[in-house]
Structure 1
Amino acid sequence: MTKLFLVRHGQSQWNLENRFTGWQDVDITELGEQEAKQAGIALKDETVDVAFTSKLIRAQHTLKIILNETGKTDMPVIIDGALNERSYGMLEGLNKAETAEKYGAEQIHIWRRSFDIAPPGGESLKDTYDRVIPYFENFVQPQLQQHKNVLIVAHGNSLRALIMYLEHLSPEEILQREIATGEPLTYALDDQMNAVKLGKSLYIQPKTVV
């Protein structure tokens, strides 16, 4: 068995401000840093051989804190835009509540929670899946097949796409899955790359930063 660890980046500034972020390069908040440290504590006693992350600073900063906390700063790190968050196109930077007032809550819900309907100029979750999964199969899976434990620090929707693949979930099922910031998810994979989700790693919710 080999292990795959998935971590969504810590709270970003635009998470805090309730904005659509997507591909915008927004860093994590003080709370996000605390969440990353807690993820590092959760993973400290785990063996991790290689890490993957996106091209966006909020994921890279989270990974850096995790590696510092675990003492694994010399680990190989692979950065690729294939793991970026879903693009929200013309919605990026806009406040979610104000956007719902402009376009209607039902339309915003369709753009955010439909599997194959994209917001204007952006990506659907299906588009994100079609970007993430080939990358996983071609670059991450070979590491797992060499019995290396892998850490991926990425984003809510890129990880949602990966979880859909690993757990063989339907579009309806994956749309109901919420992924907490900074909370590691652990999967064990056999030699045929069949994945089993393990119990949650130790995680302590950081105190809210005022």
Structure 2
Amino acid sequence: MSSAVRTLVLVRHGQSTDNEHNLFSGFRNPGLTARGVAEAKRAGRKLKELGFHFDIAFSSKLDRAQHTLALMLEQLEQADLPVRSESALNERDYGELSGLNKAEARSQWSPERVHLWRKSYDAVPPGGESLAMTAARTVPFYKEVLARSVQNGQRVLVVAHGNSLRSIVMHLEAMSPEALMDFNITTSEILIYRFSETGAVLGKTSVVAPSTLG
């Protein structure tokens, strides 16, 4: 099995209605906007243009990730691909921030505190999860399921959320908590990782799906 086959593709879901209105989502279940649908389709078409054909796909339990994945698989002409929905890949729980506009949250607490809750590794929003707590479920899932699938030669597609994916990327790239604060994944952004036979990351490619409709 060549190293080129050992591939993991991570994709953030398309724009949701909460994204559109600048709301904290967390475990909420907003649908995709028209722009989000277009982004998902474009991401699928882009992967097809790049020659991707997957053996298995994973999503979170949340609708926005599952819908994005379904739209992508249609464009890839792989609608019958085996798919697993896993709670380990759910977005981080934002607790009391969930459903609030980010500007309103900054007014209620403070811009500095809300920034720490959003971007730092250890800060815990009231009633919610820190990114470290999110990583406590995503990284073991990566090691036990995703990495094993990749090392078995499967080409793996994962569609999940900004923070659940950030925590996996932090692990893959040995990223420091300080570097993580400046690292973001846009809606429908594609992150392609290729691995050696020993599981080492050989390379990474980032592709951003256009956000315009059409």
- Short-chain TM bin: over 0.9
1:55–1:79 contact (8 Å) kept in structure 2: yes
**Which position in structure 2 is the counterpart of 1:119?**
125
* Aligned residue in 2 for 1:206: 211
Alignment of 1:40-51 (within 5 A): 40-44=44-48, 45-51=51-57
- Is the 1:42–1:184 Cα contact (8 Å) retained in structure 2? no
Structure 1 window deviating more from structure 2 (171-180 vs 1-10): it is 171-180
Deviation at 1:196, TM superposition (A): 3.1
Q: How many residues align?
A: 208
User: Is 1:63 aligned with 2:69?
Assistant: yes
Where in structure 1 are there 5+ consecutive unaligned residues? Answer: none
State the match for 1:37 in structure 2. Answer: 41
| Post-superposition offset of 1:204 | 4.8
Q: Which amino acid aligns with 1:43?
A: L
Q: Write the letter of the residue equivalent to 1:11.
A: Q
Deviation string, structure 1 residues 172-198 (Cα, Å, up to 9, x no partner): 112211101112110001111111333
2:157 aligned with 1:163, yes or no?
Answer: no
What is the alpha-carbon distance in structure 1 between the residues aligned to residue 209 and residue 18 of structure 2? 23
Q: Which stretches in structure 2 are left out of the alignment for 5+ residues?
A: none
* 1:92 is the counterpart of 2:98: yes
Change (3 A) 1:5 1:36: same
User: Which one of the candidate residues 18, 21, 25 is aligned to 2:22?
Assistant: 18
Amino acid in the other structure paired with 2:79: T
Q: Deviations over 1:107-161 (max 9, x none)?
A: 1112112211110010001001111010111111111111001000000000000
Within the alignment, does 1:197 sit opposite 2:197 as a pair? no
Matching residue's letter, 1:3: T
Identity of aligned residues (%): 43
8 A contact 1:22–1:85 mirrored in 2: yes
**Aligned equivalents of 1:176 and 1:158: distance in 2?**
16
Out of 65, 74, 97, the position equivalent to 2:80 is 74
